[in-house]
Structure 1
Amino acid sequence: MSQESQTGQQNTDYGSGVLARFLNGIERVGNKLPDPAIIFLMAMILIWFLSWIFSSFSFDAIDPRTGQGIVVHNLLNGDSMAGFLAGMVKTFTGFAPLGVVLVAMLGVGVAEHSGYINAGLKLMLKRTPQALLTPSIILIAIVSHTATDAGYVLVIPLAGVIFYAMGRHPLAGIAAAFAGVSGGFSANFIPSGIDPLLQSFTQSAAQIIDPEIAINPLNNWYFTSASSLFIVLLGWYITDKIIEPRLKQSPVDGDTQSLPSFSEITGKERRAFFVASAVMIAGLVLLYLAASPADSPLRSPNGELSDFKAPLMQSIVPLIFLLFWIPGAVFGFMVGTFKSSKDMIDAMSKSMSSMAYYIVMAFFCALFIAAFAQSNLGALLAIEGAEVLKALALPSAVTIVGIIFLTAFVNLFVGSASAKWALLGPIFVPMLMQLGISPDLTQAAYRVGDSGSNIITPLMPYFPLVVVYCQKYVKNTGIGTLIALMLPYSIAFLIGWTLFLLGYWALGIDLGLQASYVYPAK
C-alpha cells in the first residue's frame, strides 16, 4: 500500500471512530433545533420568565461591581416591558458586532468584487506550501486579535476561500481560523488592548488585600506569547487529523460559483495588485506617522496607542473599511472590473446582500443578550460559582484548574472577557493572594478559561456569523454542525492549555513583565 493510501486509511479511521460518532450525534441533535434566530427568541423569553421567578428571592452574594447584594431584575413587570419596547430599535442598532461586520464588509466587498483579494490569494497560494497552510491560517488568526474583531470579518471567511482553492474542505479552513481567532483568544505574542483592560480589573481586585500593589499591563505577555506556538501546533493537529477527515462526509453544495476563480494571475492583474497594495502601504505609513507623536490625537489621554480608549483602537473597523476599499477601487479601475463609480457601489451592495441572514439573526441575538444582562442572571451565576469554588478550599494547583474550568463554564453564558473578570476577579484574586498565589498567575488562569469555550457557545455574538460563513459552502450547516466542528478544539484547548500553564508554572518561566507566581513577590 502506498504512503498516500495509508494516510487516507488513517484519516478514514479518524473520521469513523468513536469521536466521530459522538460528534455526529451532537451535530444531529443540534441541527434539529429551530433556526438560530428562533433559538435566540426562545432564550430571551426563557430569561424573562426566569427573571420573574428569581426576582422574588434574596441572595447573599455581593456584586463586586457595586458592593451591594446581587439582585435579579424582573423583566416581565410593566416598566421593564415598556422599556423593552421603547429601546428595541436602539438595542438592535447598538449591537456592537452588527456595526463591526457591516462597516468592514462594505470595504471588503469592494476589494472582493474588484478582484483585488482574488489576485492576492493567487499570489499567496503560489508561495505557501500545502503542508504549512493550516498553521499559517491559525497563526494569522491569532495575530488578528491585535486589531480587535478583525479576525471574525476577515480571517475566518478568507480561510474558507483559501482552503477551497487548495482543494481542501472549506469548513476545515473556517474551523481552523475560528479556533485561532476565538478559541485562542488569549494567545498572542503582540500586545493588544485586552492586556491593559484585564490588568485594570486585576489591580483593583488585588488592592482589596494590598492597597499599594501595582500590576504591569504586560504581566502575562511571555505566557501568551508561548501559548501562541502551543495553540498553533495543537490546532494544526486537530484540523488535519480530526476535523478535515470527518468533513469528507459533508459535500460542498453551497453557492461556490460566487467564489473567486483561481486561474493563473495575468500580468495586468499582477501590476494592478502591486500598485493597489503600494497605495495601501502608503496609507499605513501615513497612519504610522500620524500616530507616532506623543501628543497624537490617535492616542489615549495617557499617551497609549493600545489602550481601548485610544481613538486609534476605536477606529480599527473604519480603518479596515478604508484599507480594503481604497486598494480595491484602485485595482478595479486598473483591471477594468470597475468601469464607473456605480460598479463600485454595486460591489458594496452585493456584500450587504450576503449579510441579510446574519442581520436577522443579529436582531434576535441583540435582544437576548440585552435581556440576559439586564436580568443580572449572568452575574448571579458567575458569583455563586466563584463562591462555591472558594468554599471548597482546594490546594493551590487544583484551585487554578477550578478557576479555568469555572471561567469556561460561565463563558458559555457571559461572553465579554472584561465583564466576566469584573465579576470573578474581586473574588479569585484576593482569595488566591491569601494562599500565596500572585494576581499575575490568577489572571493567566482566567485567560485560559476565557478562551477555550468561546467557540462552542451560540451566545457568543459572532457565532451566528460563522454559521453564515459555513452555509456558503454547506447549505444545511446549523448550530449543531458548528458546535460539533469546534468541540474537539474546545476540549483540547481547555485540557491542553491548562496542562501547559501548570507546566509553565512548574518550570518557573516568567509569566510577563514584573510578574511573579507568588504573593508577596520575592
Structure 2
Amino acid sequence: MTSSAVKTSWLNRSLNAIERIGNKLPDPAILFALLMFFVWGLSWALSGVTFTDIDPRTGQPFQVKNLLEGAAFADFMAKMVSTFVNFPPLGVVLVAMLGLGVAEYTGFINAGLRSILAVTSKKLLTPVLIAVGILSHVAVDAGYVLVIPLGAVIFYAAGRHPLAGIAAAFAGVSGGFAATLFVPSSLDPLLAGLTQASARLSADPAAASLVINPLNNYYFTTASVLLIVIVGWVLTDKFVEPRLQQTKVDGDPDQLPSMDPLTDDERKGLRYALLSMLAAIAALVVVVWPENSAWRASTGELTAASAPLMQSIVGLIFVFFLLPGIVYGYVSGKVKTHKDVVQGMTKAMSGMGYYIVMAFFCAQFIFAFGQSNLGALLAIKGANYLQEMAFPMAVNLIGLVLLTATVNLLIGSASAKWALIGAVLVPMLMQLGVSPDLTQAAYRVGDSSTNIITPLMPYFPLIVVFCQKYVKSTGIGTLVALMLPYSIALLVCWTSFLILYWMLGLPLGIGSSYVYPAP
C-alpha cells in the first residue's frame, strides 16, 4: 500500500470515527437543551468568582451572570417567545422557503437545473458552485437558504452524490465567508466600523481621529476567492465525494429531483418562467436606479447594510422564485388552480417542521450563553494571553487566526466576536506597529475557517435538515465529519496565504496599510 493510500485510509477512519461519535450524541434539539442546562449550571458556579479581565464593552472587570438567580431566570422565561421568534435565521429561512417551495413544487427549479446541466461539464460543477456560494455573500445570508440546497439538487441531477454538493456549497457560502467576489459584502463596512472603534482605544493620541476604509481588506478578500475555490474543488472531487460513495442516498424517491430530459411542455414553461423572472429583475432595476430611490440608504448607496434593498434580499428571493414558479406551473400544466400554489407553500413549510423544533432550542441556548457572559470571558482571556506572549509578528498573526477560529466555535456572530477581541487586539498590535487593517484581515481568516464545523452556527441545524432529505441518517456527526477536511485545509492554506501576502507587501485594500502609523 502506498503512503498516500495509508494517509487516505487513516483520514477516512478518523472521519468515520468522528461521524459515529457525533451521531451518537442526542438529537440536535435535545443537545441544545442539554447545553443550555450546562450553561445554567456553569454560570451559577462561576458567578461568585472575581475576574481581573476587563470587559471592553463596560470598562469593568468581567462578571459571569448567574442565570439561575431569580430575576435572570424570570427574564429568560419572559423572553422565551421573543427569543425564538426573533432568532435571526428563522424568519430568513421560512420566508425564503415559501417562494422556493412553490418553485420546487411546480418543477421550475428542477427544470432550470436540468437545462443548465445539459450544457455544463460535470467537471466544472464544483468550482462554479463554490464561486456562486462566495458571490452570495453580497445578499447577506441568502446563500444558506438558496445556494446550499441547490448544490445538492445540482449534484444529484448530474449523477453525483448530493451531500458532496451540499459540502461544496457550504464551503463556499460559510467557509469562505470572508471572501468577496466582484462586489463587497455587507460584512465589510460592519467589521471596518468595529475596527475603527477599537483602533481609537489606542493610547496614541493620533488614533482618536483614525478612519478605517470599509474596503480596507477588499484586495485580499478578492484574491482569496481563487484559493478557496481551488481548495474546495480539490477536496470535494478528490476526497470528500469518493468517501461519500459508501453513503447510500435513501431519501424519499418522490422528493428527489428527476434527471430525465425536458419535455416540450417543460421547455415552454421554463422559457416563460425565465422571461417573467427577467421582467421582475428589470422592474426592480428601474425602481432602484434613480438617485432618490426609496430603495437606497440615506447616503444614496444601494449596497449599504442600511439600504432597504439590502434589507429586502429575503423578500426579493421570495418574489423572484414565487413568480416564475407560478408561471412555469401554469404553462407546463403542473398547476391548475391557486390551490396548487398554496399546496406548494404548505409542503415547503411541512418540511421545515424539524428545523423549527431545532431552531427553538438553539435560540434559547444561544440567548442563555450570551446572557451568561461566558463566551465573552473566554474570548478576552485568549486575547490577553496572546498579548502577554509577545511573539514575533508572523506568529502573532497566526495566533490571532487560531484564537479567532477557536472563539468562533463558541460565538457565532462575526461582529460580536470582533467587538470583543478586537477591542484588545487592535490597540495591542498597533503598539507593535501593525495596522488595524492587517489585524482585521487575520481575524476574517480565522472567523471563516471554522464556521462550517460548529453546531453553534445558527444555520448549522438547517444544513443538517438539507442533508436528511437525501440521507435520512444524517446527524451532527455526519455534517461535522463532512466539513472538517474543508475547515482544516482552509485554516492552514488561508493562513499561509495571508502570511505570504503580507511578506510580499501586496495591497490589502483601499486606503489600507500594513504598518501603524501608516507611511
TM-score by length of 1: 0.96
Paired position in structure 2 for 1:383 = 380
Match of residue 184, structure 1, among 140, 164, 176? 176
Gap regions ≥5 residues in structure 2:
none
CA contact (8 A) 2:148 2:169 kept: yes
Shift of 1:15: 9.4
Match of residue 149, structure 2, among 141, 153, 157? 157
Shift of 1:13: 4.2
Q: State the alpha-carbon separation in 1 of the partners of residues 343 and 170 from structure 2.
A: 29
Paired position in structure 2 for 1:115 = 107
Gap regions ≥5 residues in structure 1:
1-8
Matching of residues 239-278 of structure 1 within 5 Å: 239-278=236-275
Paired position in structure 2 for 1:5 = none
Letter in 1 for 2:201: I
Paired position in structure 2 for 1:4 = none
Shift of 1:149: 1.0
Q: State the alpha-carbon separation in 2 of the partners of residues 45 and 325 from structure 1.
A: 41
For the pair 1:139 / 2:131, whether they are aligned, the reply is yes
Matching of residues 158-307 of structure 1 within 5 Å: 158-189=150-181, 190-209=183-202, 210-307=207-304
For the pair 1:509 / 2:506, whether they are aligned, the reply is yes
Match of residue 89, structure 2, among 90, 97, 103? 97
For the pair 1:75 / 2:67, whether they are aligned, the reply is yes
Shift of 1:35: 0.5
Paired position in structure 1 for 2:341 = 344
CA contact (8 A) 1:207 1:213 kept: yes
Secondary structure in structure 1 of the residue aligned to 2:209: coil
- CA deviation profile, 1:269-308 (whole Å, cap 9, x unmatched): 2222122212212222222222223332222222222222
Q: State the alpha-carbon separation in 2 of the partners of residues 46 and 390 from structure 1.
A: 30
Letter in 1 for 2:232: G
For the pair 1:49 / 2:41, whether they are aligned, the reply is yes
Moved more, 166-175 or 66-75: 66-75
Shift of 1:415: 0.4
Shift of 1:450: 0.3
Shift of 1:14: 8.0
Letter in 1 for 2:189: P
Moved more, 267-276 or 502-511: 267-276
For the pair 1:36 / 2:28, whether they are aligned, the reply is yes
For the pair 1:370 / 2:384, whether they are aligned, the reply is no
Shift of 1:69: 2.3
CA contact (8 A) 1:141 1:180 kept: yes
CA contact (8 A) 1:15 1:242 kept: no
CA contact (8 A) 2:358 2:461 kept: yes
CA contact (8 A) 2:156 2:257 kept: no
Q: State the alpha-carbon separation in 1 of the partners of residues 422 and 287 from structure 2.
A: 37
CA contact (8 A) 1:14 1:20 kept: no
CA contact (8 A) 1:219 1:515 kept: yes
TM-score by length of 2: 0.97
Paired position in structure 2 for 1:461 = 458
Q: How many residues align?
A: 513
Q: State the alpha-carbon separation in 1 of the partners of residues 121 and 401 from structure 2.
A: 36
Letter in 2 for 1:456: I
CA contact (8 A) 1:16 1:246 kept: no
Q: State the alpha-carbon separation in 1 of the partners of residues 120 and 419 from structure 2.
A: 42
Paired position in structure 1 for 2:55 = 63
- CA deviation profile, 1:461-488 (whole Å, cap 9, x unmatched): 1111111111111111111111011000
Q: State the alpha-carbon separation in 2 of the partners of residues 70 and 488 from structure 1.
A: 36
Q: 1:345 to 1:278 in 2, by over 3 A?
A: same
Letter in 2 for 1:22: S
Letter in 1 for 2:512: A
Paired position in structure 1 for 2:517 = 520
CA contact (8 A) 1:383 1:424 kept: yes
Letter in 2 for 1:342: K
Matching of residues 413-424 of structure 1 within 5 Å: 413-424=410-421
CA contact (8 A) 1:202 1:215 kept: yes
CA contact (8 A) 1:65 1:423 kept: yes
CA contact (8 A) 2:137 2:186 kept: no
Q: State the alpha-carbon separation in 1 of the partners of residues 380 and 338 from structure 2.
A: 55
Match of residue 18, structure 2, among 20, 23, 26? 26
Match of residue 308, structure 2, among 296, 308, 311? 311
CA contact (8 A) 2:114 2:157 kept: no
Matching of residues 437-476 of structure 1 within 5 Å: 437-476=434-473
Secondary structure in structure 2 of the residue aligned to 1:17: helix
CA contact (8 A) 1:256 1:473 kept: no
For the pair 1:330 / 2:323, whether they are aligned, the reply is no
Q: State the alpha-carbon separation in 2 of the partners of residues 433 and 305 from structure 1.
A: 33
Q: 1:113 to 1:421 in 2, by over 3 A?
A: same
Q: State the alpha-carbon separation in 2 of the partners of residues 228 and 499 from structure 1.
A: 14
Shift of 1:267: 2.7
Q: State the alpha-carbon separation in 2 of the partners of residues 330 and 82 from structure 1.
A: 50
Shift of 1:401: 0.4
CA contact (8 A) 1:14 1:245 kept: no
Paired position in structure 2 for 1:393 = 390
Identity rate, percent: 61
- CA deviation profile, 1:337-362 (whole Å, cap 9, x unmatched): 11000000000000111111111101
Paired position in structure 2 for 1:129 = 121
For the pair 1:429 / 2:417, whether they are aligned, the reply is no
Q: State the alpha-carbon separation in 1 of the partners of residues 287 and 55 from structure 2.
A: 42
Letter in 2 for 1:155: V
Letter in 2 for 1:176: A
Q: State the alpha-carbon separation in 2 of the partners of residues 442 and 259 from structure 1.
A: 45
- CA deviation profile, 1:57-112 (whole Å, cap 9, x unmatched): 12222222222222211100111111122211111111110111110000001111
CA contact (8 A) 1:15 1:245 kept: no
CA contact (8 A) 2:268 2:332 kept: no
CA contact (8 A) 1:188 1:224 kept: yes
Q: 1:115 to 1:14 in 2, by over 3 A?
A: farther
Q: State the alpha-carbon separation in 1 of the partners of residues 52 and 404 from structure 2.
A: 21
CA contact (8 A) 2:199 2:427 kept: yes
Off by >3 Å, runs of 4+ in structure 1: 12-16
Shift of 1:309: 1.7
